[in-house]
Amino acid sequence: MKPEKWRDLSEEELQQKIRELTEEVFNLRFQLSMGVAKNPARVSIAKRDLARGKTVLREREQASRHNVNG
């Protein structure tokens, strides 16, 4: 998912998506270790999406903290 779409999500949707991706990365890594992964490239894609989601969440935290202190 592109960063613009991440920024369009509400706070709840963003946190839900991050939880889902965290679980997906865990499951994919487990499948890789067991040798049953159907699409090993999906791990890096999921990790990248997870990082994007966490980045957008962090941006929002920084912006709200800045607005409160500013």
- Residue 70, pLDDT score: 61
Quote the number of domains for the chain. 1
- Stated pTM of the model: 0.86
Interatomic CA distance for residues 3 and 39, integer angstroms: 23
Tell me: pLDDT of 67 over 90.
Answer: no
Give the helix ranges, DSSP H, for the chain. Answer: 3-8, 11-34, 41-69
Q: What is the pLDDT of residue 68?
A: 76
Which residue range forms the structural domain that includes residue 49?
Answer: 3-69
Q: Phi, psi at residue 38, to the nearest 5°?
A: -80, -35
Cβ atoms of 8 and 57 within 8 Å: the answer is: no
Is 11 or 66 the better-scoring residue by pLDDT? 11
* CATH code, domain with 22: 1.10.287.310
Residue 41, pLDDT > 90, answer yes
For the chain, the average pLDDT equals 92
